């Protein structure tokens, strides 16, 4: 886990349409990452 104020490492993930999105695409902007378990899992 990162400590508060630590910069996140660079990463790329697919969006809801399957397009790759990188954290670097939002450089200089505030970003909120919201992770949730896949539907119908026990997470």
Q: Are 26 and 33 in contact (CB under 8 A)?
A: no
CA distance 43 to 40: 9
> Is residue 12 a contact partner of residue 22, using CB atoms and an 8 Å limit?
yes
Report pTM: 0.60
- What mean pLDDT, rounded, does the chain reach? 86
- Tens of pLDDT, residues 22-38: 999 999 999 887 777 77
């Amino acid at each position: 886990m990162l400590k508060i104020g630590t910069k996140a490492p660079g990463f790329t993930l697919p969006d809801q349409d399957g397009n790759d999105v990188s954290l670097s695409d939002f450089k200089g902007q505030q970003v909120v990452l919201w992770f949730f378990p896949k539907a119908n899992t026990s997470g």
